[in-house]
């Protein structure tokens, strides 16, 4: 197994890419600390992890809360002796252009996406520095590279995550810490479904998104999780500072 004995923290572990990654990591031997604001969803993920032969703990709160991030990671490190992997999969999208987006919504998107990356890395990095090893996996978006319509706060936040990932990779490379970003395309998750549901007529928007991919389909959460597993594992020992598209050819088309 590729993650035997590893301890991983995954934010957004209650659904979507976070859930798929948690189950896959558990199957590969990791202990998972699941972070989400949805207690029922996180417990469902833990049940799936147990079915896969693994186990973990559940931590409920707001990923944009600095105290919650500090307490959670420090408690995991104290209980398990280390933190090997941090994956910041929690995300939030509100839709809208720079004109139509409410300032409170803009702040909420940046709190969940950028704050939910920075605050957790801020606590995890010193632990990984002592260990002289660690992998941080952030979750950006193909839209942060290609641009997109009617989702300005989300796309700007995902662009900030890419920049933050690259600078963390450079800052901590000599500490044995690898930092990489995933850039998923449109993945069939609750977040994607909610984004389509914001439109008065969702089906044409959904179909246009599907056809925008060179592969003419949406991705599955497990397909992104497989890429996350590679970045979490020792197989990626010489990989840091990259943005890895898992986008069905969106950026190539």
| Buried/exposed code over 59-89 (b: 16+ C-beta within 10 A; e: otherwise) | bbbbbbbeebbeebbeebbeebebbbbbbbb
Q: Select which of 110, 154, 172, 250 is catalytic.
A: 154
For β-strands 134-139 and 243-246, DSSP reports them as unpaired
Within the chain, how many helices (H) and strands (E) appear?
10, 7
Cβ partners under 8 Å of residue 71, min gap 6 = none
Residue 190: in which H helix or E strand, if any? helix 190-197
| Catalytic site includes residue 154 | yes
The label of the residue with tokens 């890895």 reads 244
The label of the residue with tokens 């925008």 reads 212
Provide the annotated active-site residues: 154
């Amino acid at each position: 197994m590729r993650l035997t004995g590893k301890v991983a923290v995954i934010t957004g572990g209650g659904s979507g890419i976070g859930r798929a990654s948690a189950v896959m990591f558990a199957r590969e031997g990791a202990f998972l600390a699941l972070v989400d604001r949805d207690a029922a969803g996180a417990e469902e993920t833990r049940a799936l992890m147990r079915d896969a032969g693994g186990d973990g703990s559940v931590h409920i709160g707001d990923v944009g809360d600095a105290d919650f991030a500090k307490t959670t990671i420090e408690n995991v490190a104290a209980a398990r002796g280390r933190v090997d992997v941090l994956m910041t999969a929690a995300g939030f999208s509100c839709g809208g252009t720079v004109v139509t987006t409410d300032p409170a919504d803009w702040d909420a998107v940046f709190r969940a996406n950028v704050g939910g990356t920075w605050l957790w890395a801020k606590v995890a990095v010193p632990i990984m520095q002592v260990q002289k090893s660690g992998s941080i996996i952030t979750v950006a978006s193909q839209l942060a590279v290609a641009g997109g319509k009617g989702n300005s706060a989300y796309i700007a936040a995902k662009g900030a995550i890419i920049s933050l990932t690259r600078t963390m990779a450079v800052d901590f490379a000599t500490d044995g810490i690898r930092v990489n970003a995933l850039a998923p395309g449109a993945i069939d998750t609750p977040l994607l479904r909610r984004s389509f549901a914001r439109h008065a007529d969702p089906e044409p928007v959904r179909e246009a998104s599907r056809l925008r991919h060179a592969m003419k389909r949406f991705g599955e959460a497990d397909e992104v999780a497989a890429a996350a597993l590679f970045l979490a594992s020792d197989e990626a020992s010489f990989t840091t500072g990259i943005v890895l598209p898992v986008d069905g050819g969106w950026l190539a088309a």
